[in-house]
Amino acid sequence: MTAFLMIAGSVLAVVLLMLILPLLRREQQPPPSDDTRDYDIRIARERLEELRKEHARGELSDEEFEQAKVDLEITLAQDLEAAEKRTVQAKTDHAARATMALLIVLVPAIVATVYLQTGSPDLVDPAKRVAAATPQQQSPHAPGSIAELVTELERRMQQNPEDPRGWFLLGRTYMQMNRYDDAVRAFEKLDELLPENPTVLISLADALSMQNGGQVPEKAVQLLDKVLEIEPANVTALWLRGNAAGQRHQDADALRYWGRAYPLLAEEPAMQQELRQLVSAVEARSGLKAELPESLPPIMSAKGPSPGPSRNTVQPAASGGPGLQVEVALDPELLDKAKPDDIVFIYAKAAAGPPMPLAVARKRVSELPVEVVLNDSMAMMPQMKLSNFPKVKVGARISKTGQAISQAGDLQASEVETETGNDKPIQLLINSVKQ
């Protein structure tokens, strides 16, 4: 018994020391004053005014201006949130130090009393410990990667096969994993639940094309034609229909479909440039000339997906050098808490340094699971580039308000710290609700 008490006392002393040292070492930081908050807000307003002037001078495009405003909102929100946390921390430090004395006195007494009455100190003896050992059950493994989510999602769809959002997410997840046969079956089931839906028809056509090695099969062509009957200005259907015609060397039809899609991408210059390259290639081999008006008011589809090519058209990476590849998925348990049009912010910020985001990408829930690359092209200011920091924290959040400022009720993923030179995909699972 004496040996047991000596061992237990030593372990307990170490544990108490580990609890107490952080309290002793914590730096005292004065709570932020109102002047500090006013300063942060004033700086943000001045930066916004600079952005407006740059936009008016034509130095920033509409897309760059909107992205810069989002980054500025996120920065200000993080600054104010950090200030609030310091205020709360300052109020709790005093109570924590007062509690320290009670820990030193009460914890050893309580632990010793309870363990001597209900525990088994004789198991300090190795022979008795081995005799009493029993197999331990492993705790269930919580899904953490896109691959691990599939089993849970498949189980949910077996229990609730009439849930269209579940089938859509499952189909997109299969596409992300290159399981095109399964994706086709998922989208066919979704088509049964939501017939004549342009988004569903395009998703099924995309899956059929990927199943066919990237070549658009005849069934997919029929689906795309049906979409264009419902929504003649659906830019995704026009793009893919042009692909199908181009693969069949129906060059006049390809140029006609792409010519209709081109002006609809006026607010997506990178994608418009990619489409222009496809057009040029067909023009060169056929001698035909496409009609590409340089500027027309964009016509957006209310039912279809966001404009742009689907998976069987490779999108160009934004200039900005190497970056971090991030894969973002939504936990099936939160399906009922997210709407397809909710905005998803995917960001990277310095692990040690200013809270200003170094790179931010915007997506929608309907695009999950999704892969993005965060790089220097997304920098808010030249000196705040991703490559200037050795380590960053990468995170993702679904905004229920559409605003960059984090609020209670938003869905979020745990941030992952990584080196900026990491060339492996970073997987984020949105699986919690901000309180």
pLDDT one-digit tens code per residue, 201-217: 999 999 999 999 999 99
Instruction: Using alpha carbons, select from 108, 128, 117 the residue that is nearest to residue 8.
Output: 108
User: At a CB cut-off of 8 Å and minimum separation 6, what does 216 contact?
Assistant: 205, 208, 209, 224, 240, 243, 244, 247, 312
- Decide if pLDDT at 354 tops 70: yes
- Decide if pLDDT at 39 tops 70: no
- Decide if pLDDT at 345 tops 70: yes
Domain residue spans in the chain? 2-129, 146-286, 324-433
Superfamily of domain 146-286: Tetratricopeptide repeat domain (1.25.40.10)
- Decide if pLDDT at 116 tops 70: no
Instruction: Using alpha carbons, select from 317, 395, 390, 396 the residue that is nearest to residue 364.
Output: 396
**pLDDT-based confidence at 283, cuts 50/70/90?**
very high
**pLDDT-based confidence at 48, cuts 50/70/90?**
confident
Distance CA 70, CA 18 (A): 41
- Decide if pLDDT at 304 tops 50: no
- Decide if pLDDT at 109 tops 70: no
Distance CA 246, CA 321 (A): 32
- Decide if pLDDT at 396 tops 90: yes
Question: pTM of this prediction?
Answer: 0.56
Q: Which two structure tokens, joined as six digits, stand for 167?
A: 């089938």
Mean model confidence pLDDT for the chain? 76
Higher-confidence residue of 100 and 287: namely 287
In 10 A of CB 431, how many CB atoms? 19
- For residues 304 and 238, is the Cβ–Cβ distance under 8 A? no
Q: What share of the chain is helix, strand, coil (3-state, %, to 5)?
A: 55, 10, 30
Beta strands in 298-369 (DSSP E): 324-330, 343-350, 357-364
- Decide if pLDDT at 413 tops 70: yes
Distance CA 247, CA 256 (A): 14
Higher-confidence residue of 36 and 60: namely 60
Distance CA 294, CA 276 (A): 11
The DSSP 8-state label assigned to residue 375 in this structure reads -
pLDDT at 305: 36
- What pairs with residue 275 in β-bridges? none
Helix axes 180-193, 198-211, angle to 10 degrees: 160
pLDDT at 12: 57
Higher-confidence residue of 175 and 53: namely 175
pLDDT at 282: 93
pLDDT at 295: 42
Helix axes 269-286, 251-261, angle to 10 degrees: 160
**pLDDT-based confidence at 159, cuts 50/70/90?**
very high
Amino acid at position 181, single letter: D
Instruction: Using alpha carbons, select from 350, 327, 335, 317 the residue that is nearest to residue 419.
Output: 350
- What pairs with residue 345 in β-bridges? 362, 397
Report percent pLDDT > 90 for the chain.
Answer: 34
Instruction: Using alpha carbons, select from 389, 390, 388, 408 the residue that is nearest to residue 398.
Output: 408
